[in-house]
Amino acid sequence: MKRMLQPFQFKNGVELHNRLVLAPMTHYSSEPTGEVSEHELAYYRKRAKNVGLAITACAYVTEDGKGFPNAFGVNDDKFIPGLRQLAESLRAEGAKAILQIFHAGRMSPPELVPNEQPVSASAIAPVREGAATPRALETEEVEAIIEAFGDATRRAIEAGFDGVEIHGANTYLIQQFFSPHSNRRDDRFGGDVNARLTFPREVIRSVKRAAEGADDFLIGYRFSPEEVEDPGITLDDTDVLIDMLLEENLDYLHASLWNFHIGSMRNENVTERSIDRISKRINGAVPLIGVGQLQRPGQVEDALNVIDLAALGRELIIDPDWLDKVKDDREDEIETELDLNKQAELAVPAPLWNAITTRAGWFPIKDQVVK
């Protein structure tokens, strides 16, 4: 049996029926009010059949934490009924359902947040053209956001999710507190690399407190190994982060990589893959999820020599029948380029479809006549 098809058990006894993960991907398709939409439910039902673990797009934990138009919220009890539908859609085919929770921080589009004012660890703008300068959060506000992550976890449990993934990656608020570029604070949430871990550590502990008594509830953490900014997060910094995450006794870690095989973003002379360095640092202490252009079954099998679970994102948008084709020995039929004539068949909501087809280089597109 292929390794990807083998079951996997977490230390708390939760078992997955295979080692594939639906990667969290933003889809811009929730209701404008933050509720889960029918389009989302159809999109997830189409893809959760492939995987043992299904991770949602990121849900914002506070009103000033929105990162995308038409994202869904977990910052109010009114969202629980829709979230329950989402959990049920993910679990319908046997997958375990994970709600990814986050705060966008300085990456929030101003028009989506109160007073059109993004917030962050410090008043330092992202390095991108036209980026707004955030307002530095007061200490009391930081503590309130930490509690909001716990509140979001309580709602995830009430909605029937099997776990949450704390989104500490992709330049959002938790990473902003860890980054020497975006965190120039002089209170207990700022300082050297260890002091900058205070916020992510306290978020983790808030989530764990909220999950006390739910013994089969999974808590994961997603992180990005490096930043391109100077100063920015380095692989050496990430070694320190991983050590802290291991101390917190989480259920899994999730390395966010655009390409599974990438080395250092900051030093072209580094030849070792980031994922290999991360895996060595973890040394089997906690399950590791990897992601990044794992298109073919052979690539996934090779990746599982280094990681425990392999996440597929774009691959399952392009071909929701990816796993069925592996099981039926039809691997040569797996689609690796998006067919622009199959939006309805693929159940891809219109806002996500528009983003995919207008953002050059994001998805491989099949060279064809669009009907």
Cβ 257 vs Cβ 275: under 8 Å: yes
Neighbours of 76 (CB within 10 A): 13
Residue 167: name the closest of 91, 105, 96 by CA.
105
Choose, from 60, 172, 221, 252, the residue flagged as catalytic: 172
**Is there a domain that residue 363 lies in?**
no
Query: What gap in Å lies between CA 54 and CA 322, rounded to an integer?
Result: 15
Residue 207: name the closest of 256, 176, 248 by CA.
248
Q: Tally the domains of the chain.
A: 1
**Is there a domain that residue 243 lies in?**
yes
**Is there a domain that residue 47 lies in?**
yes
Compute φ and ψ for 215, nearest 5 degrees: -65, -25
67-90 pLDDT tens trace: 999 999 999 999 999 999 999 999
Q: SS in 3 state form for 96-142?
A: EEEEEEECCHHHCCHHHCHHHCCEECCCCCCCCCCCCCCEECCHHHH
Give the domain extent around 42: 3-358
Coil, strand or helix at 255:
strand
**Is there a domain that residue 345 lies in?**
yes
**Is there a domain that residue 368 lies in?**
no
221-273 pLDDT tens trace: 999 999 999 999 999 999 999 999 999 999 999 999 999 999 999 998 999 99
**Is there a domain that residue 314 lies in?**
yes
Q: Is 172 a catalytic residue?
A: yes
Query: What gap in Å lies between CA 10 and CA 287, rounded to an integer?
Result: 8
pTM: 0.97
Coil, strand or helix at 335:
coil
Query: What gap in Å lies between CA 42 and CA 226, rounded to an integer?
Result: 34
**Is there a domain that residue 370 lies in?**
no
Q: Which residue has the tokens 């934490």?
A: 65
The enclosing domain of 124 has a CATH number of: 3.20.20.70
Query: What gap in Å lies between CA 112 and CA 291, rounded to an integer?
Result: 29
**Is there a domain that residue 365 lies in?**
no
Provide the pLDDT for residue 364.
93
Provide the pLDDT for residue 1.
81
Residue ranges of the chain with pLDDT lower than 70? 368-371
- Secondary-structure breakdown of the chain: helix, strand, coil percentages, each rounded to the nearest 5: 35, 15, 50
